[in-house]
Amino acid sequence: MKYQKTQFGWFVVLSFVPIMAFLYLSHIYQWGDHPIPDRAYTILSALFFVICLLFYKLTIKLDGLSLILIYGIGIIQIKFRLDKVERVDIIKTPWYYGLGIRITPKGMLYNIQGSKALRIVYLRDGKRKSVMVGTPEPERLKGALEALNDKMTA
């Protein structure tokens, strides 16, 4: 079963766009006693713009034996080969796990919005791996993963 879902990272956009607008206005109008220099403005603006491009959305794809996570414009792509899924659980991630790509006590977390995630425990090359994928529709992704697992074991 194929699965694909794209989610928009409102937090990133609503956080960084006003910061970039403030930087622009403070640079153009030279606000304050020590206005921001041209070089600092250029570096900060470029940094915030690149962060927005890299993390403004997350696309989750399930195709064949692979779970593919694509952030933003596609420069950051994470691919998991799911040889054998042992367990799939819908979990609620605590707020302090944050957003983005995180290391947590329960495994890696890939999240861009919300607090729902799917915890996938699978075997790869004889080793047990665990990953959490934030999604607004964990039931649908769980069904797709379970269908893939049933197909592989049949």
Domain locations in the chain? 8-54, 58-153
**Pairing outcome for strands 107-111 and 3-8:** unpaired
Q: Does 80 or 47 have the greater pLDDT score? A: 47
pLDDT above 90: residue 53: yes
Q: Which two tokens stand for residue 141?
A: 């992704």
Q: At the topology level of CATH, where does 58-153 sit?
A: PH-domain like (2.30.29)
pLDDT above 90: residue 147: no
pLDDT band, very low/low/confident/very high, at 55 (cuts 50, 70, 90): very high
Over residues 101-116, mean pLDDT = 92
> What integer pLDDT is reported at residue 1 of this predicted model?
64
Distance CA 3, CA 62 (A): 5
